[in-house]
Amino acid sequence: MGEAGADVLRLEGITRDFGEGEARSRVLRGVDFSLRRGEFAALMGPSGSWKSTLLHLMGLLDKPTGGRVLLDGQDTGTLDDDGLTRCRGRTLGFVFQFHHLLPGFTALENVLIPMAADEGRIEPSMRERARALLDRVGLASRAGARATTLSGGQAQRVAIARSLAMAPKIVLADEPTGNLDTQAADEVFSLLRDVNRDQRVTFLVVTHDRRLAERTDRIVELVDGRIVSDLPNEAR
Amino acid sequence: MRFEWFIAIRYLREGRAQTALVLGGTTVGVAVLIFLTALISGLQRTLVAQTLSAQAHVLVKAPERVARPLPSPDRVADHVEKVPDRVRSIEQWQQVLASIGTLPGVVAATPTAAGAAFASRGPATKSVTLRGIDPESFARVIDVVPKMTSGRFALEGAEAIIGTVLASDLGVGVGDKVRVATPEGRGDVFTVSGVFDLGNKEVNARWVFVPLRSAQTLLDIPGGATTIEVKVDEIFEAERMAGEITRRTGLSADSWMELNRQLLVGLRSQSASSWMIQVLVVLAVALGIASVLGVSVIQKSREIGILKATGTSTGAIQRIFLLEGALVGGAGSVLGAVIGSGMAVAFARLARGPTGDPLFPVDLTPGLYLGAAAVAILTGTLAAWFPATRAARLEPAEVIRYG
């Protein structure tokens, strides 16, 4: 487990139903998928293909109706609520489309929150690590700025720093550039790619933007809750 | 700093208007709690102290005599005369006194020989209650020594201690002579050795203390004592103690509570209504905290989802909101204590009797503050329970997706 090239995430026969009774419908129809350590993959698909739902299942934010999610070899279906939270906090990082920083907190505090939540307290070493991560995303000078005062690109970079706080094995990014202009989107995407190369963090990026997807190692396409293609990116 | 404290304090600081509102409500609630409790307990303590300033906690008397018709086969009594009341001594009162003295909870007991009499000086004559006492043990039962306005509380030979009103009515002072006589015609002349003010006009006008032996002679109960007056350590236990004394001695024992039934009913009604007001105030505070925190949880749903997605456990989310409730309760209790104490002190200063003296002191005790703080913090925490549980149950995927 965890050695180079091994699966860090595997989905086996994942199904997800929504609704009750006659209104019940199956949105994910048996998804098999795996991510290898150090991969940088893109998940594409038209709107309404349930990409975000699949991402939430991978991120243990939601539970599948059927099938198994194995994270670093462990079947997450056997974990209780606290176990899932711990596993999520220590193994996974998230970057959302709308950065989702906590508005009442500074950039630095937003980055240290995952560490503090895991330890149950705030320690000086966490502030140091948060500062180093902000430095890594080029925002050391904005450490004390409130999240609400940051530009879209800056906020998303803080969100990336936050996703790396617990040195996760995988970062799941849901349209991380979807809300940014082209230049900011390029910068953010380059940052993700750099982190992937430097720290061997596995990335799965949901995106609509084929131009950005072409910069990944692998493109997975989801249509109507099914993976219709999963190919290495020939362009690279 | 603990993680939950960090988030809870920040959320409270962030939601300034909401925090100010809920804190204001809690502060007013605690202030009312402190003001009412200080006022009512001060008033009640004063009323009880005034009542007991001239009264023993338990009065033990010889049982009432009951007339019974003699059984006769050829006559039927259609009417039984009540035995005329006259001064009677408790049989073997020395043993009774010793027995009462050994009861747990009894602080002191003293014998008295009491009966009706007239006090006169020259042409002035007043109807009085003659009370033969042993000054030393009597002072242990009724705290009369500090209430002496002149002279001393001691009886040597033919001395008498009288109240301020009687002293004024008869125009006597310490060192003057007063003649005390019973309706049966037995009388003696006493020198006034002291004048007391027990805070009760009737008592100050009627009580005449003389040595026990002199009263025994005047009342024609040689060596006798009509009552044993008892002081207990817990005044609201007096009724139970009276029952215990009756069981043990077979004598009639009345507690001050029995003798002041109306006062007690008044005090209890007052306490009950004060309790009712306080319960309603606490309920209003709880509803205020619950509704403001409830709104806060709805407003922060997405943030809660983010916190959960980034590794904050369900328990920690719940603790954050419970802490918010407890912090509001704690801060409200500090502010409320200051305002409530201010109100109580101002009231005590402003409310004055006809003579301009303060009506009664307010009871601001450390116990009251601790109690109010405990109630406020507990109320805050309990009120936060529902919003906190609701926050903890939020599904991160749903709130991130739909907000």
Q: What is the mean pLDDT of each run of 10 residues along chain A (236 residues)?
A: 66 90 87 90 88 88 90 88 85 83 92 92 92 89 92 88 89 84 84 86 88 88 89 71
Q: Which chain B residues touch A61 with a CB distance below 8 Å?
A: 308-309, 395-397, 400
Q: Which residue bears the tokens 């390029």?
A: A186
Nearest CB to B311; choose among A53, A85, A96: A85
Q: Phi and psi for B43 in degrees, rounded to 5?
A: -65, -45
- Tokens representing B12 are 């409270």
Q: How far is A35 from chain B (nearest CA, A)?
A: 20
CA–CA gap between residue A175 and residue B36 (Å, rounded): 60
Contact call for residues A17 and A73 (beta carbons, < 8 A): no
Contact criterion met (CB below 8 Å) for B229 and B141: yes
pLDDT tens sequence across B74-120 = 777 777 777 666 778 888 899 999 999 999 999 999 999 999 999 99
Distance CA B70, CA B21 (A): 80
Neighbours of B189 (CB within 10 A): 13
CATH superfamily of A37-61+80-232: P-loop containing nucleotide triphosphate hydrolases (3.40.50.300)
- Rounded-to-integer distance, Cα A82 and Cα A79, Å: 8
- In percent, the amount of chain B with pLDDT more than 90 equals 46
pLDDT of residue A236: 52
Would the pLDDT of B37 be above 60? yes
What is the complex's ipTM, to 2 decimals?
0.85
- The residues pairing with B119 across neighbouring beta strands, listed in sequence order, are B126, B180
Judging contacts by C-beta atoms under 8 Å, the chain A residues touching residue B303 are 102-103
Q: What are the distances in angstroms from CA B351 to CA A64, B43, B136? A: 71, 12, 38
DSSP-derived pairing of the beta strands B106-121 and B124-133: antiparallel
Chain B environment of A121 (Cβ under 8 Å): 1-3
Q: Which residue of B has its CA nearest to A56?
A: B397
Identity of the residue numbered B256: W
Measured CA to CA, the distance from residue B249 to residue B97 in angstroms comes to 10
Q: Measure CB to CB from residue A56 to each of B10, B314, B397 and give the nearest one.
A: B397
Whole-number pLDDT of residue B69: 72
Joined together, the tokens standing for residue B20 give 């100010």
B335 has pLDDT over 80: yes
Mean per-residue pLDDT over chain B, rounded: 88
| φ, ψ for residue B337, nearest 5 deg | -65, -40
Can you give the pTM of this predicted structure? 0.75
Q: Is the confidence at residue B270, as pLDDT, over 80?
A: yes
Question: Is residue B129's pLDDT more than 60?
Answer: yes
In tens, the pLDDT along B157-198 reads 899 999 999 999 999 999 999 999 999 889 999 999 999 998
pLDDT of residue A112: 93
Q: What Å distances lie between residue A145 and A184, B13, B97, CA to CA?
A: 19, 17, 83
Grade residue B216 by pLDDT with cuts at 50, 70 and 90.
Answer: very high
Residues B294-333: pLDDT tens digits? 888 888 888 888 888 888 888 999 999 999 999 999 999 9
Is the CB of B14 less than 8 angstroms away from the CB of A104?
yes
Alpha carbon distance A44, A215 (integer Å):
13
Q: How confident is the model at residue B403 (pLDDT cuts 50, 70, 90)?
A: low
Asked if B305 and B398 touch (Cβ cutoff 8 Å), the reply is: yes
Burial class (CB in 10 A: 0-12, 13-18, 19+), B400: buried
Q: Where are the domains of chain B?
A: 3-51+263-402, 93-254
Residue A55: its chain B contacts at CB < 8 A? Answer: none
User: How large is the average pLDDT for residues B205-210?
Assistant: 95
CB contact set of A139 (below 8 Å; sequence gap of 6+)? A107, A154, A157, A158, A161
**Residue A179 near residue A98 (C-beta atoms within 8 A):** yes
Question: Could you tell me if B253 and B242 are in contact, meaning their C-beta atoms sit under 8 angstroms apart?
Answer: yes
In a mutagenesis test of the A interface, which of B1, B9, B10, B310 is the best target, namely the one with the most A β-carbons within 10 Å? B310
